Amino acid sequence: MKIEFPKDFWWGAATSGPQSEGRFNKQHANVFDHWYEIEPEAFYNQVGPDTASNFYNSYKQDIAMMKEIGLNSFRTSIQWSRLIDDLEEGTVNEDAVRFYNAVIDECLAQGIRPVMNLLHFDLPVELQEKHGGWESKHVVDLFAKFAAQCFRLFGDRVEDWFTFNEPLVIVDGAYLYQFHYPNIVDGRKAVQVAYNITLASAKAIAAYREFNTNPKGRIGIILNLTPSYPATDSPEDLAAAHFANLWMNDMFLGASTKGQFSEELVGILEKDGVLWDSTDDELSIIKANTIDVLGVNFYHPSRVKQPSISSNSLAVDWMPTKYFDNYEMPGRRMNVDKGWEIYPKALHDIALNIRDNYDNIPWFVSENGMGVSREERYLNEEGIIEDDYRIQFIQEHLYWLAKGIEEGSNCFGYHLWTPIDCWSWKNAYRNRYGFIANNIHTQVKTIKKSGYWFKEVTQNNHFEILEDLTRL
């Protein structure tokens, strides 16, 4: 079966500054740099962000390899901790300006569209320690100052900007479930952080509107949209899924596209006594500065059921999970290495949700991918990793994405996470996601079978899929 995509479809891959560049010649530590310094044992095999994929030094060769596998677009991020010298004043570091200019120019020279994100979990730790990070509205203003510098410096050549990558992960990881520094458990703070990040995104968009001079330019946000499916059709399970979707999906998506938060969610948070502190002026800024374009990261679905205890139970801290429990569906397909369910049809559900409920805003798949450990198991005699599992994973997701496009969803691209195996936060290099393998000891990089397959897709704008795979 042939699966076809529109003309000028983005075929690309995504990474981030902190996960690919390494710490070479960087003025400030970000929260992950700092966490690794004080607690290296928290990271898989004690491998930290200093052992990244050397993009700071090898960007020319790396971008050439991206061209070799057919990419026409490439998303990365500009590190706040690299670009800015004085975090309060917003002055720039000249070496960082040189580096990011060189990356952008090299992409353009290779015919690859540079797509730039501003914040990929990498808040400068100084702002966390001094001001409380995203708990502080002063940090919100400093972020807007950083964003303005990016637009001034690089906006003449970068058409596609994004403010944040997966802001919900900052909320969940740093303030609820302890997988991002500073590992706080405080539901009230988590809710305020969610609001402050929304305000920061809106203020960055306002700065973009002021400083952008590129007539083709647009700005958006990248959200991890994870549909929450109820375990059953019971009213209790349906209610659990409804709240989970409000919290996990609509909170940032609604504010970013419509300029306001769900009244229902606001009502629940207010009833629970944890609603964020806001002002009318701030809410006006959020209302006036909505996104032009949306990036969607999707890896796995969320399955939920009614909570095992009443939401009215006595609890020390407010948690969103008072309204739902996670549900492990019997018989689910899994990527056992990562511990994530494989459910490609969710990408079709996301496509129709955006079409029907969010004004069919232009969007692209900004991350999707298959993380596998010990990929050296699949080396052939020629030294190529035969990652047929990744090819199948992409095929299945693209099949359902194509259906969504056929049914009118305004999707214009697909980016795999990631072009080259890169450092992955606490998991370091445990699971590999790239089209291109990276030996972190030698920095020798080799194209996997999926990279050669993807090149054919990008050249033809279509691929063949077995009928059996469309029914999984």
**Residue 367 a catalytic site member:** yes
DSSP-derived 3-state class of residue 296: strand
Q: Which residues contact 333 (CB under 8 A, 6 or more apart)?
A: 341, 342, 343, 472
C-alpha 159 chain-centroid distance: 19
Q: Residue 246 is encoded by which pair of tokens?
A: 């409000």
Q: Select from 162, 4, 187 the least CA-distant residue to 73.
A: 162
Measured between alpha carbons, how far is residue 9 from residues 165, 410, 413 in Å?
22, 11, 5
- The residue assigned the tokens 């897709």 is 457
Task: Give the pair of three-digit tokens for residue 441.
Answer: 């000891």
- Structural tokens at position 8: 């000028």
DSSP sequence for 246-275: IIIIIHHHHHHHHSS--HHHHHHHHHTT-P
Identified catalytic residue from 106, 282, 367, 375:
367
3-state secondary structure of 431: strand
Q: Is 166 labeled as catalytic in the residue annotation?
A: yes
Q: Which of 166, 282, 375, 396 is catalytic?
A: 166
φ/ψ (deg, to 5) at 156: -70, -25
Alpha-helical runs (H) found in 259-412: 263-271, 280-288, 345-357, 388-406
Give catalytic residues, as residue numbers: 166, 367
